[in-house]
Amino acid sequence: MGTARVVFDRWDGTYAERMASVRSSAVRDLFGAATRPDVISFAGGMPDVSKVPGDAVARAAREAVRDHAATALQYGSSEGRPGLRRIFVELMAESGIRSKPDDVIVTAGAQQALDLVAKVFLDPGDVVITEGPTYLGALQAFSAYQPRIVCVPMDAAGMRVDALEEELERLGPRGAKFIYTIPNFQNPAGVTLSPERRRRLVELSRRYEVPVVEDDPYGRLRFEGGHCKPLKALDEDVIYLGTLSKIFAPGLRLGWVCAPRPILQKLLLAKQAADLCGSEFSQAVAERYFAGSRWRRVLASLTEAYAQRRDTMLSALAEHLPPEVAYTRPQGGFFVWVELPSFIDTKPLLAEAVERGVAYVPGDAFYPDGRGRNCMRLAFCYAEPEDIREGVRRLAEVFEDRLELYRAFQEAGCQV
Amino acid sequence: MGTARVVFDRWDGTYAERMASVRSSAVRDLFGAATRPDVISFAGGMPDVSKVPGDAVARAAREAVRDHAATALQYGSSEGRPGLRRIFVELMAESGIRSKPDDVIVTAGAQQALDLVAKVFLDPGDVVITEGPTYLGALQAFSAYQPRIVCVPMDAAGMRVDALEEELERLGPRGAKFIYTIPNFQNPAGVTLSPERRRRLVELSRRYEVPVVEDDPYGRLRFEGGHCKPLKALDEDVIYLGTLSKIFAPGLRLGWVCAPRPILQKLLLAKQAADLCGSEFSQAVAERYFAGSRWRRVLASLTEAYAQRRDTMLSALAEHLPPEVAYTRPQGGFFVWVELPSFIDTKPLLAEAVERGVAYVPGDAFYPDGRGRNCMRLAFCYAEPEDIREGVRRLAEVFEDRLELYRAFQEAGCQV
């Protein structure tokens, strides 16, 4: 399915207009290559589940069906299990967010929450503001509802709120449906929104009456620096998305959305229409897993491993890539964003990279409009340190010829 | 969340237009009442999961994380696990459908497949043809994409294909986006589409170039009569929806869609946008559960129990309800459809019924346009036989006064 095959489509012309704007996910398309044993993958943001204790999951499953036989295999409420929603409230409290279980709906990963938010707010042509680059799954979820996506640039301190203000001023009050942001260790840029800009962002949200959608999958995976309060802790009207995919396991597809009640009621209707309710079984397993304290030790060991991999990747990038190549230095999370000279297009070079045994995601996947062609996202979360070093070496080989050419051009005084 | 609370909504006016047409699910709203121990519920179509062996599920979970540690807790492909798709192909083969794993996408229950089909095909104002009454979850999924829903009436042999033909003729070729049907033990009507009409339906689908969406959650829960070949076995272009919710457990949220490749590729994009991929953990558990043969014995015992409950409900209805009340006699599945005299409105009477300790779903929930007010759906799948008898007795009490009045009217020669 992943590879394009030419099939005569007699339904051509009968699909909804939205399907013209829904692109395939570059990460999903790379899923095959990314899981090939001979390819070192910096492509997907796949957590290292080898550190998640299978025995704890098996025990949680056994206890779930034993102690909750009547509910764990049955349909559940669309909001999700009360016990799991309490756990989400506690997780948020540890980050500084005050909420109640009734402020939360369990979703199939944060991705479903993105889909539901878009479904609830977006008519065709509505404006959504995102960081540029931004999470490609968000672009995919939003684009199914045919919005106009406006990207605000970032620097090392995250979204440039001065540029955001200009955009909001241009659009006028309620001129956008929401501002989508990943403030911690942004996907794909790896940068973190500074505390000052967080305060400014929620002020702008209030002034221009445009709600903020805060996506926080990586907030607990900090390697260094102090914890930054989530936007939701600064403004209770923020729509906050959380997930267990990075602190437990993506294979259970569990996330949540915490939002003001009126919005939550709309999201609940959209959730019912989408899948009736989440998996009670997955939810009961997660309830058990988070009931103890072992998950904290697992998370600590995950964070330590990711920190080491980031260090390895940054030092390998410094060693193998020439100074013309810029890249970010994330304080947590999964990703480094690499910017190559503007004449390099990372998309056609990907096939060559996979051929050489390394995969990345081309930068244009993270923009709605074809920008980012000279960029790429590297995920350091999945590969072991020795593979990261080798992978960056292979990556450098891919670009070496082109970069030498670039240098020759520059030395000859040419403009690229 | 279920109960309406008056909350000032400062986002009022910013929601998408579609939210005006998405109604709350009557079944979901009744979820609270339906699970109260003092209420005998004929409301939700909840399977009797007490017959599903918890130990087999726990063992499947243990084996899944032990033998598939690298995949069971990880993100998976958007199509779903190949092993589970092979199982779905085998299940379909037993019903007479020839397919391959590449023809199948795993979904979060059949409900997600309904959402994805609607997302792929429907622009606002597009026509969808359904049976009237039809599954309320389908109405909910479709209505989020703002179609015009046209209901075709049924009789004891299912959808009246003569009325369907008239409708298709009126609309012209490709005048509707798809025909949605539940041919086996229809939800909510309980009737089954005859083999002759199945052939006629797919002929009409071809002639008018309107694809059929066949929803078959109950096909394997037949109590009597011969197996009817699915529409998908008569025409490979049918979009077929299956689910494990009724033959295993809804708590895993596993269903599938089997469709022609070009349509499947569109559904896959919509699936990626909706939740990236299904739960690998649930899928791995189901793979294990269906690897053995015990599930067949469990299914046989479930079917036997449902048959007994149907018998009990039909005899209780015959005993307690007067002859003015019509109801269907399903040969399988979960539901009986009850039609009361036209002056009775089942919706306002529901509160009284719950007060008396019995719940049903008012008939208008199964129409897009307010029809069905004098009808109700009774699910016989969940309550034990003695409770079914008592529940029908309580139900009769609710309507007794009204029916006596009706009789008095009739005896007096009045027209109602």
Per-residue buried b or exposed e for A289-327, using 16+ beta carbons within 10 Å of the residue's own CB? bbeeeebeebbeebbebbbebbebbbebbeebbeeebeb
Q: How far is A391 from chain B (nearest CA, A)?
A: 21
Contact residues, chain B, for A123 at CB < 8 Å: 16-18
Reduce the secondary structure of A29-74 to three states and give it as a string.
HCHHHHCCCCCEECCCCCCCHHHCCHHHHHHHHHHHHHHCHHHHCC
CA dist., res. B22 & res. B146, Å (int): 9
Q: How far is A333 from chain B (nearest CA, A)?
A: 17
From the candidates A17, A135, A143, A281, which should be mutated to test the interface with B, based on the most B CB atoms within 10 A?
Answer: A281
pLDDT along chain A (416 residues), means of 10: 56 91 78 80 94 96 93 95 98 98 98 98 97 97 97 98 98 97 98 98 97 98 96 98 98 98 96 96 98 96 98 97 93 98 92 94 96 97 96 94 81 74
Residue B276 has pLDDT above 90, yes or no: yes
Pick from A11, A249, A262: which is nearest to B263 by CB? Answer: A11
Q: State the complex-level ipTM.
A: 0.95
| A252/B145 touch (CB, cutoff 8 Å), yes or no | no
CA dist., res. B167 & res. A123, Å (int): 30
> For strand B361-362 and strand B375-379, is the pairing parallel, antiparallel, or unpaired?
antiparallel
Phi, psi of A359, deg, nearest 5:
-130, 145
CA dist., res. B157 & res. A11, Å (int): 30
C-beta atoms surrounding B227 within 10 Å: 13
pLDDT tens digits for A346-381?
A: 999 999 999 999 999 999 999 999 999 999 999 999
As to burial, measured by CB atoms within 10 angstroms (0-12 exposed, 13-18 middle, 19+ buried), residue A348 is exposed
User: Distances in Å between the alpha carbon of A33 and those of A336, B60, B280, B288, B334?
Assistant: 20, 29, 19, 27, 45
Contact residues, chain A, for B273 at CB < 8 Å: 22, 115, 137, 140-141, 143-144
Instruction: Supply the DSSP string of A338-397, one letter for each residue.
Output: EE--TT--HHHHHHHHHHTTEE-EEGGGGSSSS--TTEEEEE-SSS-HHHHHHHHHHHHH
The H-assigned helical ranges of B356-413 are: 385-411
| A276/B137 touch (CB, cutoff 8 Å), yes or no | yes
Max mean pLDDT range (A69-73, A403-407, B252-256, B350-354): B252-256
pLDDT tens digits for B41-52?
A: 999 899 999 999
In chain B, the residue whose alpha carbon lies closest to the alpha carbon of A74 is: B251
The first and second tokens of residue A120, run together, are: 């609830």
Pick from B7, B46, B177: which is nearest to A75 by CB? Answer: B46
Pick from A8, A65, A108: which is nearest to B108 by CB? Answer: A108
- At A364 the pLDDT is 96
In chain A, the residue whose alpha carbon lies closest to the alpha carbon of B252 is: A279
pLDDT tens digits for B14-53?
A: 999 999 988 887 777 776 776 788 999 999 899 999 999 9
> For strand A326-327 and strand A104-107, is the pairing parallel, antiparallel, or unpaired?
unpaired
CA dist., res. A311 & res. A300, Å (int): 17
Contact residues, chain B, for A29 at CB < 8 Å: none
| A73/B261 touch (CB, cutoff 8 Å), yes or no | no
| A261/B143 touch (CB, cutoff 8 Å), yes or no | no
The answer to whether A48 and A382 have CB atoms below 8 angstroms apart is yes
The H-assigned helical ranges of B128-279 are: 136-143, 161-171, 195-207, 231-234, 261-275
CA dist., res. B392 & res. B390, Å (int): 6
C-beta atoms surrounding B6 within 10 Å: 5
User: Distances in Å between the alpha carbon of B406 and those of B123, B323, B337, B340?
Assistant: 45, 12, 20, 11
The answer to whether A276 and B109 have CB atoms below 8 angstroms apart is yes
Phi, psi of B326, deg, nearest 5:
-100, 145
Contact residues, chain B, for A268 at CB < 8 Å: 1
Question: Strands across the sheet with A326-327, in order?
Answer: A326-327, A335-339, A375-379, A361-362
Pick from A11, A46, A58: which is nearest to B211 by CB? Answer: A11
The first and second tokens of residue B389, run together, are: 């008898």
The answer to whether A285 and A60 have CB atoms below 8 angstroms apart is yes
CA dist., res. B350 & res. B362, Å (int): 7
Scan for tokens 């009808």, then name that residue. B375
| B72/A251 touch (CB, cutoff 8 Å), yes or no | yes
Contact residues, chain A, for B2 at CB < 8 Å: 77
pLDDT, averaged across chain B: 94
The answer to whether B327 and B337 have CB atoms below 8 angstroms apart is yes
- At A7 the pLDDT is 56
